[in-house]
Amino acid sequence: MAITRIIIPRLVLLLFVVLGVAVITFTISHLIPGDPARMIAGDRASAETLENVRRNLGLDRPVVEQFTIYIGNLLQGDLGTSLRTNRPVAGDIRTFLPATLELGTVALFIAICLGVPLGVLSAVYKDGPIDQIARTVSVCGISMPVFWFGLILIYLFYAKFQILPGSGRLAMGIVAPERITGFLLIDSLLQGRFDAFRSAVYHIILPGFVLAFANMGVITRQIRASMLDVLQEDYIRTARASGLRKGMIIFNYALRNALIPSITLLGLALGDLLYGAVLTETIFAWPGMGTYVVTSIQTLDFPAIMGFTIVASIGYVLINLLVDLAYMLADPQIREV
Amino acid sequence: MMTTGIVESRGQALAIHNLSLEFPTFSGAIKALDNVSINVAKAEIVGIVGESGCGKSVTTMAATGLLPKGRYRVTGGSVRIFGHSTLAMDESQLQDVRGKMVSTIFQEPMNALNPTIRIGKQLTDVIMRHEEASLTDARRIARDILADMLIGEPERVMNLYPFELSGGMRQRVLIAMAFSCNPGLIIADEPTTALDVTVQAVILRLIQNRARRTGTSVIFISHNVAVVSQLCDRLYVMYAGRIVEQGATRTVLDAPQHPYTQALLRCLPERVAPKQELEAITGAVPNLMHPPAGCYFQPRCKEAVDLCRSRSPQLEGADGRQVACWRRGVGPEISEQGSRQ
């Protein structure tokens, strides 16, 4: 099977990627200046207290030994204990990651739902008014800074017109549904909590749209460019010469081929979304990984930073795997060979 | 319903009358077609020959509304396909005509079929577009027509993607697609140029046989006179957007009148005695943004006289046989002075 032929090497690769990332983050954490013990004990702690903290953290042992312990724990799913919160990093990530994934998924969904049709229209009516508007919108999306755009939307929709909430995942006074997947939209539906669902939807609109906007611009431009290429192809001329309807030619015959070069871009966009989430989450006080990581960096919370880096790199490998699988789905030439 | 055409052209599959067309550009209009008239009777097989860029494809693509919208301007003339005036049609009316009344088989089978859609689906999409057929019926029609194109195991081929077929097979699929809704007219635009010689003959015979059997009219467009000559009842010779000669295939080939046709035939290896050097037509096709005065072939013509450089010759002669040359047929008296440079 072609599918297993793609998946298995990727999973093996994943192991090496994680190991490599672990080595790099571990090295960096020991190379950069800054003393975690000092961060914990405080500026005025005595040398003795510092020594005690160091011993408790295991920082007094040889570097190689520290690394072996770290890797050993890592393989058991133990990412260490956060220096800041004193809780297991893995647990913290489990708490905060779903919020980010939910935001990212919604944003990607919005970006695709708006970007693809806009790109198609833009190509079909090239140089017409729709094309001009779509191109302007996508340039704005690509070049507008997230923090600025986010603040503008908060000002308009939250402060001025008061249509949409500007921060958090749920309105105050609404009890969060019991945690099943960590995705509020899904959990609330599973438990029939429609009040929570409605509130969650309202809350995710603004940050979701802000996060989606930049990627929508990229997607629109990519789809437009590849649609323009495809519409020049001989098989489109064949389809036209056969009298097929315009709608069928555009969506069944052209878009299907135009999507193939866009798949890589969608994979990249997914990665971009996680990165863009950091800013968006900060602006919208979204309790996700972004906020968690920023705080961890500010407090030199190495276990948390390393844990996040490893989770993110696993995420990237999985996204790439998804991209390859999507290629197989879209392009028979890859699938059937 | 379709706009009905005038009664007199009912016997014609295609009637192009004095069609002139230009492509506007920033630096001026390119006059791609100049007073082109082409008639194809029902069940007739007609060839259009000429060098690349002489307007063969532009003529038929304009007739079927396949030229890119807004990029060209029809400056005169009319086109009727089975009596329907296609130049006056909007896109949706053209979509009803294309595939159903007139189909085009293009060159370059490499990319002429959609790479991501199975052969069967591409055929049934066309069939179900024009015929009241269920998917099962459409698949049966598709299978039968593939078999008719001498494709073994049509059922299996229908489940394949284009990249899994050879160039010759893809071209057969394209021909099958063109014939699938039994159009009265097929335009074969260089259908075999991309194929190797052994396959060419087979493919051309397939088109010819099916057309003769079903009474379908065919226009073969080719730059290769030899290919067209074996298949066609009549020939049109085009040069720089004008028809320079037309007549029954045998007469045109055996007794070419126009200097361009004569030169074209002298370029064919099979018509030249062994060891004798092949001739090439000197010069190049004129720039149609600034065409030469008079006859367009005059700068390359060995027989040109003053008159040729000042006035364009019109197609003259009886209906069956026409030539546009001052040195042939009727015309003003030709003074010999200044001839033969």
- Could you tell me the residue range of the domain that residue B138 belongs to? 111-182
Full strand arrangement of the beta sheet holding B12-25: B28-41, B12-25, B73-81, B84-85
Kindly state the DSSP code that residue B38 receives in the 8-state scheme: E
CA dihedral A27→A30→A34→A36, nearest 10 degrees, is 120
Residue A13, domain member (yes or no)? no
The rounded mean pLDDT for chain B is 87
Window from A31-35, A75-79, B35-39, B261-265 with minimum mean pLDDT: A31-35
Per-residue pLDDT tens for A250-304?
999 999 999 988 888 888 887 777 777 888 888 898 888 888 888 888 887 888 8
Confidence of residue B340 (pLDDT cuts 50, 70, 90): very low
Strand partners, B239: B242
pLDDT above 90 (res B114) = yes
Chain A: residue whose CA lies nearest to B163: A333
Residue A84, domain member (yes or no)? no
Residue B151, domain member (yes or no)? yes
Binary contact (A235, B95; C-beta < 8 A): no
For residue B298, give the nearest of B338, B249, B265 by alpha carbon.
B338
pLDDT above 90 (res B234) = yes
Instruction: Decide: B324 and B299 in contact? Cβ < 8 Å.
Output: no
The pLDDT of residue B333: 46
The answer, for A229 touching chain B at a CB cutoff of 8 Å, is no
Residue A144, phi then psi, degrees to nearest 5: -80, 125
Angle (deg, nearest 10), helices B119-130 and B167-179: 10
The pLDDT of residue B319: 67
Binary contact (A238, B91; C-beta < 8 A): no
Nearest-CA distance A243 → chain B (Å)? 4
Per-residue pLDDT tens for B258-268?
999 988 888 87
Chain B: which residues have CB within 8 Å of chain A? 64, 66, 91, 94-100, 103-104, 106, 108, 110-118, 125-126, 129-130, 161, 163-164, 174, 177-178
Binary contact (B99, A241; C-beta < 8 A): yes
Confidence of residue B334 (pLDDT cuts 50, 70, 90): very low
Binary contact (B129, A244; C-beta < 8 A): yes
Give A257's contacts in chain B (Cβ within 8 Å).
114-116
pLDDT above 80 (res A214) = yes
Give A328's contacts in chain B (Cβ within 8 Å).
none
Count of domains forming chain B = 1
The pLDDT of residue B210: 94
pLDDT above 60 (res B39) = yes
Give A128's contacts in chain B (Cβ within 8 Å).
none
Rounded distance, CA A286 to CA A292, Å?
Answer: 10
Q: Say which of A235, A243, A332 has its CB closest to residue B130.
A: A243
Count of domains forming chain A = 1
High-pLDDT (> 90) share of chain A, %: 32
The pLDDT of residue B243: 93
The answer, for A242 touching chain B at a CB cutoff of 8 Å, is yes
The pLDDT of residue A262: 87
- Could you tell me the residue range of the domain that residue A194 belongs to? 97-287
Highest averaged pLDDT of the listed ranges A32-41, A168-177, A186-195: A186-195
Q: How big is the A-B interface in CB pairs under 8 Å?
A: 82
Which residues, in sequence order, are CB contacts of A255 under 8 Å at separation 6+? A116, A120, A227, A230
Give the number of other CB atoms < 10 A from CB of residue A14.
17
High-pLDDT (> 70) share of chain B, %: 92
Rounded distance, CA A61 to CA A83, Å?
Answer: 18
Structure ipTM: 0.84
pLDDT above 50 (res B339) = no
Confidence of residue B163 (pLDDT cuts 50, 70, 90): very high
Residue B171, domain member (yes or no)? yes
Residue A297, domain member (yes or no)? no
Window from A321-325, B125-129, B240-244, B317-321 with minimum mean pLDDT: B317-321
Cα-only R_g, chain B: 21
The pLDDT of residue B9: 43
The pLDDT of residue B1: 38
Tokens of B279: 């001739």
The rounded mean pLDDT for chain A is 87
pLDDT above 90 (res B128) = yes
Confidence of residue B329 (pLDDT cuts 50, 70, 90): low
Residue B176, domain member (yes or no)? yes
Residue B137, domain member (yes or no)? yes
Residue A274, domain member (yes or no)? yes
pLDDT above 80 (res B276) = no
Binary contact (A237, B113; C-beta < 8 A): no
Helix (H) or strand (E) holding B30: strand B28-41
Q: Please give the model's pTM, rounded to 2 decimal places.
A: 0.81
Chain A: residue whose CA lies nearest to B93: A243
The pLDDT of residue B5: 38
CATH number at residue A111: 1.10.3720.10
Give A237's contacts in chain B (Cβ within 8 Å).
66, 106, 112
The pLDDT of residue A337: 56
Q: Say which of B100, B112, B161 has its CB closest to residue A243.
A: B100
Residue B123, domain member (yes or no)? yes
Nearest-CA distance B295 → chain A (Å)? 34
b/e A190-210 (16+ beta carbons within 10 angstroms → b)? eeebeebbebbeebbbbbbbb
Give the number of other CB atoms < 10 A from CB of residue A175.
9
Binary contact (A257, B100; C-beta < 8 A): no
Strand partners, B21: B33, B74
pLDDT above 80 (res A41) = no
Tokens of A238: 């064949």
Residue A301, domain member (yes or no)? no
Give B117's contacts in chain A (Cβ within 8 Å).
252-253, 256
